[in-house]
Amino acid sequence: MKIVSVHEGVVPISSSIRNAWIDFSSMDCSIVAVVSDVVRDGEPVVGYGFNSNGRYSAGEILRRRVVPRLLAADPESLLAEDGQLDPARAWGAVMTNEKPGGHGERSVAVGVIDMALFDLAAKIAGQPLYRWLSDRYGDGEPDEQVFVYAAGGYYAPGKTLRDLQDEMKGFLDQGYRVVKMKIGGADLAEDLERIEAVLEVLDGDGSRLAVDVNGRFDLATALEYGRAIEPYGLFWYEEIGDPLDYRLNAVVSEQYRGPIATGENLFSLQDARNLIRYGGMRPDRDYIQVDPALSYGLTEYLRIQEMLAQHGWSSRRCVPHGGHQFSLHIAAALKLGGNESYPGEFQPTGGFADGAVVEDSHVRLTETPGIGFESKAAFYEVLRALHA
Ligand SMILES: O=C([O-])CC(=O)C(=O)O
Ligand SMILES: [Mg+2]
């Protein structure tokens, strides 16, 4: 098995929405196609990857460092003992001459390639990624369905409380029981009004609503909001302060009794370990949201899972950020607690297979080999155009 060529491009995933920190008016995403010399039905087997959402395309790092190193590696050095592609060995090749620390956009570029290599490896084996992964890194019996919650509830120009309620009703109509909305982009009084409007749609059941601050609050505001929302008994209170401010998180976790979720902007084993060591996260109720696509890929995510286990954390406490197919496979294979879903945003990259049905907030995977981009027509067209 040899890699014949790697093609890289950018796709816009922009929209008019806004969270407490950024708008998405110029959001875009790197995509790659890794073409192998394996031929099936007269066509080369190709692995695809992309970089989730929330960070911009990382083309410069891909073109100047990551892809050249992959192509320069001795093909034999990328194979496991069974002669098949081993994405973890390729990971070592693309990280050659990279110093530790400072895991900014480099982790995004490596994550894109890592995803494509896992897609390729599972396709060559003729298996959907979740079964391939479960056989190698899990117990061989993957979850057949995965808990998903619907993320949305953004701020947008002219968006009324009624619009927010209609958006959430739409999620419930699509089969979701748990929904997420943004807070921290308005003042407390307005956000409480928005939360109460959504709770009306959820029959007053706060345990079905997560709120996401996107790292906006200082400690005083975090505690003030915490006191105000604690009585609602929410599903979780997300990314309350700066993602690297572990002390803020620890102080809030001493005072806010409900579940806290964070980690979507931690991009390495070392950062995730610091969160566990110093962030006050409680293994009996809190959630880790590291997104494998943004954080050096599944190769690094497996290391993070090992670290969590060593610290007494169940994989069920992990619910990755991003709402994409890659994490859905990982969630099923590694028995995570679930996966985010974006029914209304980040097209064409986000979301699951076209035919995927959500029932009681759970979704099943397809048996398409690899990650299954081929079952997501609009995205597949963009990916195929990279190399066709
Ligand atoms: O608004 C964003 O950047 C996305 C986000 O936080 C999430 O999906 O949890
Ligand atoms: Mg978030």
3-state SS of 3-71 is EEEEEEEEEECCCCCECCCCECCCCEEEEEEEEEEEEECCEEEEEEEECCCCCCCCHHHHHHHHHHHHH
pLDDT value for 276: 98
pLDDT value for 75: 97
* Total residue length of the chain: 388
Q: Which CATH superfamily is domain 3-126 in?
A: Enolase-like, N-terminal domain (3.30.390.10)
Looking at this predicted complex, what is its ipTM? 0.99
Task: Determine the residue of 212, 242, 319 to mutate for testing ligand 1's pocket, defined as the one with the most ligand atoms within 8 A of the Cβ atom.
Answer: 212
Indicate if ligand 1 lies below 6 Å from the C-beta of 321. yes
Percent of the chain at pLDDT > 90 equals 99
What's the CA gap between 272 and 370, in Å, rounded?
A: 27
Average predicted confidence (pLDDT) for the chain = 97
pLDDT mean over 88-99 = 97
Architecture of domain 137-385: Alpha-Beta Barrel (3.20)
- 2 noted as active-site residue: no
pLDDT mean over 301-327 = 98
One of 182, 329, 335, 376 is an active-site residue; which one? 182
Place of tokens 């959001």: 27
The domain locations on the chain are 3-126, 137-385
Reported as a single tens digit per residue, the pLDDT across 232-291 is 999 999 999 999 999 999 999 999 999 999 999 999 999 999 999 999 999 999 999 999
Reported as a single tens digit per residue, the pLDDT across 142-184 is 999 999 999 999 999 999 999 999 999 999 999 999 999 999 9
From the CA of 349, how far away is ligand 1's center (Å)? 15
- 182 noted as active-site residue: yes
pLDDT mean over 303-318 = 98
